[in-house]
């Protein structure tokens, strides 16, 4: 398992009864987590010192209960600064487990010895975008949500990367990739963090189990002759690491590189165990 264990401003204190207890900077949040199917004694004092609690509804969705939490605050990861705020469906605007991937590809970019162009698809609030830009890459950031792209710009500004070579695109990812192919554009690296389910601008249904492999094949057409890396993330339990590895091996078979895949996770400070948080598949060019 690849573990995001370099955080100082984020921590999973404990998890039990379908929920995880987390520290985001100086604030303690309790949020649902479908992986937490165990129910263990809640012994540490942080269980009783919450700043906010997201309650899942039996009818779907849920709502926040706030005790003492600002509307927005920030945390750091190395030189990067992320703006956080609680919003619908339990999220804060950051997936901290992805830091293990940020570290991996940032090291590749810094040591590439050549200019690197990165395409970040389903790019959300830009954790991967600003990590890649901070490592020296030029990045094209694509997300269908105008609000998420604006949030990502704020994270870039907070991290001192306002003038970094980042191209901000509000668009449907599939349609953008198709246009880039027609334009003849190419990238040295591609990152994708697709949703399990979604709808396109004209009501097209995206279901990751049926949509992801054709999309990887499409994106392969955008790679340069010597791709540096290709990263696919999945939070869908049906897409196990071996499935990601098989898809990348098949779609990128003409490139010389090493393909690995594994679960990603976060350390739990109260017991030394690791909370699973999805899976990633990686291609690393030789």
Query: Per the structure, how many domains does the chain have?
Result: 2
Same domain as 225, residue 112: yes
Gyration radius of the chain over CA positions: 19
List the CATH number of the domain containing 205: 3.40.50.150
Sign, CA torsion 95/100/104/106? positive
- pLDDT tens-place string over residues 3-23: 999 999 999 999 999 999 999
Same domain as 198, residue 138: yes
Same domain as 154, residue 45: no
Q: Which domain holds residue 23?
A: 2-84
* Average pLDDT taken over every residue of the chain: 95
Q: How many CB atoms lie within 10 A of CB 43?
A: 10
User: What pLDDT is attached to residue 218?
Assistant: 97
B/e letters for 107-127, b = 16+ CB within 10 Å, e = fewer, are ebbeebeeebbbbbbbbbbbb
pTM of the entire predicted model: 0.95
CA dist., res. 251 & res. 127, Å (int):
26
Q: Is the pLDDT score of 154 beyond 70?
A: yes
Q: How many CB atoms lie within 10 A of CB 255?
A: 18
Domain end point (choices 32, 63, 84):
84
List the CATH number of the domain containing 58: 2.60.40.1180
CA dist., res. 75 & res. 248, Å (int):
33
Strand partners, 206: 198
The percentage of the chain sitting over the pLDDT mark of 90, rounded to a whole number, equals 88
Q: How many CB atoms lie within 10 A of CB 233?
A: 23
Give me the DSSP letters along 28-90: EEEEE-TT--------SGGGG--SEEEEEPTTS-EEEEESS--S-EEEEETTEEEEE---STT
CA dist., res. 20 & res. 22, Å (int):
6
CA dist., res. 255 & res. 273, Å (int):
37
- pLDDT tens-place string over residues 39-78: 999 999 999 999 999 998 888 789 999 999 999 999 999 9
Q: In terms of Cα–Cα distance, which of 48, 6, 8 is closest to 28?
A: 48
The answer to whether 279 and 244 have CB atoms below 8 angstroms apart is: yes
Same domain as 139, residue 268: yes
Domain end point (choices 53, 84, 115):
84
Q: Is the pLDDT score of 93 beyond 80?
A: yes
For the chain, report the end-to-end CA distance as a whole number of angstroms.
23
- pLDDT tens-place string over residues 178-219: 999 999 999 999 999 988 777 766 677 777 788 899 999 999
């Amino acid at each position: 398992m690849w573990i995001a264990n370099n955080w100082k401003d984020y921590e999973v204190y404990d998890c039990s009864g379908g929920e995880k207890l987390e520290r985001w900077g100086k604030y303690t949040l309790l949020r649902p987590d479908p992986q937490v199917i165990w129910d263990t004694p809640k012994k540490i004092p942080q269980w009783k010192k919450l700043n906010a609690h997201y309650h899942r509804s039996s009818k779907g969705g849920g709502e926040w209960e706030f005790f003492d939490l600002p509307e927005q605050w920030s945390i750091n990861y190395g030189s990067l600064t992320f703006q956080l705020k609680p919003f619908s469906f339990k999220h804060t605007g950051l997936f901290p487990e992805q830091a293990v991937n940020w570290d991996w590809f940032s090291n590749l970019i810094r040591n590439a010895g050549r200019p690197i162009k990165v395409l970040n698809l389903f790019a959300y609030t830009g954790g991967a975008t600003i990590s890649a830009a901070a490592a020296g890459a030029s990045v094209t950031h694509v997300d269908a949500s105008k609000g998420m792209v604006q949030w990502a710009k704020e994270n870039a500004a907070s991290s001192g990367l306002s003038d970094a070579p980042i191209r901000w695109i509000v668009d449907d990812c599939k349609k953008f990739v198709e246009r880039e192919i027609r334009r003849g554009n190419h990238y040295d690296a591609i990152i994708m963090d697709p949703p399990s389910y979604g709808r396109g601008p004209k009501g097209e249904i995206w279901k990751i189990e049926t949509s992801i492999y054709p999309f990887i094949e499409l994106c392969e057409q955008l790679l340069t002759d010597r791709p540096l890396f290709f990263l696919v993330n999945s939070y869908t339990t049906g897409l196990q690491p071996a499935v990601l590895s098989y898809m990348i091996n098949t779609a990128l078979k003409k490139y010389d590189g090493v393909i690995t895949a594994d679960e990603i996770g976060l350390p739990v400070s109260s017991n030394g165990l690791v909370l699973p948080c999805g899976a990633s598949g990686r291609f690393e060019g030789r």
